[in-house]
Structure 1
Amino acid sequence: MKPAFLAELNALLAPLTDPGRAAGMRAYMRNQFDYLGIGTPQRRAAAKPLLKTFKGIGAQRLLEYARELWRLPEREYQYIALDLLALHWKELKPADIAALLVLAQDKSWWDTVDALAGIIGDVLRHDHEFMDDALKHENMWVRRIAILHQLGWRDKTDEQRLFAYALYCAHEKEFFIQKAIGWALRDYARHAPETIRAFTLHNKTRLAPLTYREANKHL
């Protein structure tokens, strides 16, 4: 990362830091990460003009900057890395997904992992490259990304793959997997409510109670 970039970024963030708020944010995330104490709207408003200047630098450099931001201790820097990738996702290709999955396995928690799932979904653009393998990955967060990568695809959703992924992981006891399956099914239910109702009823004994409740929350 160019030192000038980090200096400019820190100059934008410095007036917004709030130690009191940082303590609350850290506690909310189970004391896993340090924080500067900057809320999402304020962070994005401050950093976006700078991040927009990265347009056209290409996938390799975008990922380099994201990795450098990921190494910094405060959680806001990981969020800024995600904002950078989300802003310029059109410069990424399916071949870059492997690098995004590496990020997902570092400082992993639902906040960064779910944002990466959204970016990967945008990059895939209704394809599924790498996701079948990701579903079988030993890392639970990578499996969560595979389950969630079709969020928001509506009629472009691969229904058979959605259901196959759900059943493949249905036996898992991990909360974040059970929740992800329910979320993915609930999201598709907005487009195909009767299909989800029928699928969850038919597989009620295989799906975790949490998954079933989440999938049917708005049906």
Structure 2
Amino acid sequence: MTLEVSLIQAVRAGLEELANPAKAPEMQAYMKSDMPFLGVQKPERVTLLKSLPVLTDRDEWLEAVQTLWREATYREERYVALALSGDRRFQSVELMPWFDEMIVTGAWWDYVDEIAARRVGPLLRSAPEVVRPLMLKWSVDADRWRRRTSIICQLGAKGATDVELLTACVDANVDDRDFFLRKGIGWALREFAKTEPGWVRSFVESRPGLSPLSRREALKHM
């Protein structure tokens, strides 16, 4: 048995062992998920992650992550796959097609926000020549989760924020009525306001078409 298969089996067995049928329905309802839950909460998943076999081969690691994600029958399997996908040893711009698949097939904020801020964002800063044009393309994509990713991928970038990119991605979606896009715009601006409050206030004031939700979120702590 390969180490990759051992990891996959350990994840599935570990989650089954930790399953809490009493918690599962409320977790599924809260997340409005079609995929069922086992009822395994985050602290327990973190403990499980620490006990898993360590993969040192990049191809085996990626295969394990993709298998857990694509074959998941419970949402917690995807949460574990998402956590494993952030292994810093293997991060490179070549993973962008995989992160794109996770965004489009996950299609909900609990997956997408983690991928945007903690996977795509660091790759944007390390390889802007590749990721920046992709974010501009995603900002006008038909898929709202790609668009949300383009808007919030610079969360936490602080002084390293690409202001022109942030502006372009927000402006491309400023008129959209989708809740997750409006909330994402406000969130991105609110976070950047911690670094450049004057710029954010000026930006908001110069965008009369900005939704009340985006405007309220952007100026929340100002």
Q: Answer yes or no: same fold by TM over 0.5.
A: yes
Name 2:139's counterpart in structure 1: 135
Structure 1 residues 149-203: Cα deviation after superposition (integer angstroms, max 9, x where no partner) = 1110000001121122111110111100111111111110011111111110121
Change (3 A) 1:151 1:31: closer
Aligned length: 214
Range 178-187 or range 96-105, more displaced: 96-105
One-letter code of the match for 2:74? E
Name 2:8's counterpart in structure 1: 6
Contact (CA 8 Å) 1:89, 1:119: kept in 2 or not? no
Structure 1 residues 91-145: Cα deviation after superposition (integer angstroms, max 9, x where no partner) = 1211221221111111311000111112111223352432112212211101111
Structure 2's unaligned 5+ residue stretches are none
- Residues 1:144 and 2:143 aligned together: no
RMSD value, Cα? 1.7
Provide TM-score, normalisation by structure 2: 0.89
Equivalent runs, 1:163-178 vs 2, <5 Å: 163-178=167-182
Q: Post-superposition shift, 1:90? A: 4.1
Q: Give SS of 1:14's match.
A: helix
Name 2:88's counterpart in structure 1: 89
Contact (CA 8 Å) 2:112, 2:145: kept in 1 or not? yes
Contact (CA 8 Å) 1:167, 1:207: kept in 2 or not? no
The list of structure 1 runs, each at least 4 consecutive aligned residues, that deviate by more than 4 angstroms after superposition, is none
Aligned match of 1:195 in 199, 202, 214? 199
C-alpha distance in structure 1 between counterparts of 2:94 and 2:203, whole Å: 33
Q: Percent of aligned pairs with the same residue?
A: 31
Q: Give SS of 2:16's match.
A: helix
Contact (CA 8 Å) 2:8, 2:64: kept in 1 or not? no
C-alpha distance in structure 2 between counterparts of 1:160 and 1:49, whole Å: 43
Contact (CA 8 Å) 1:113, 1:145: kept in 2 or not? yes
C-alpha distance in structure 1 between counterparts of 2:39 and 2:111, whole Å: 17
Equivalent runs, 1:100-115 vs 2, <5 Å: 100-115=99-114
Equivalent runs, 1:46-57 vs 2, <5 Å: 46-50=48-52, 53-54=54-55, 56-57=56-57
Q: Post-superposition shift, 1:50? A: 1.2
Change (3 A) 1:213 1:90: farther
Aligned match of 1:206 in 197, 204, 209? 209
C-alpha distance in structure 2 between counterparts of 1:81 and 1:110, whole Å: 16
